Amino acid sequence: MKSVYADRPPQLKTASSDMIKLAEAQLFQTRTDDARKETEGLNHIVQAKSKKIDDEFTSLVMKLHLSEAEEIKRQKLEELKNIRKFASGIFQYEGADGKRD
């Protein structure tokens, strides 16, 4: 019976192959460290942009509420004006002494 590994050439385990593997490991570790640093930088950018967007959104909402408040104020002033007109009309109708003409 023939071994499964018989067709493969024997692997040489030498000091040079160990050094190559060590160099590869160091290279991959360097790449990993660089990727981690880049990720941290990108996360910082994302957080900064997210805060900016939140601030802009808050500002827009505040402006919207201000616009709504101004519209409500305008409506209430119009109502007050109409009430004053109505009250003035009643006052004129009843006369200055409070009796109807």
Whole-number Å distance between alpha carbons of 42 and 48 = 10
Cβ pair 85, 91 in contact under 8 A = no
What is residue 94's predicted lDDT score, i.e. its pLDDT?
67
Model pLDDT, residue 101:
52
pLDDT, tens digit only, all 101 positions of the chain: 555 555 655 555 677 888 999 999 999 999 999 999 999 999 999 999 999 999 999 999 898 899 899 999 999 999 999 998 888 877 777 665 555 55
Task: Answer yes or no: pTM beyond 0.85.
Answer: no
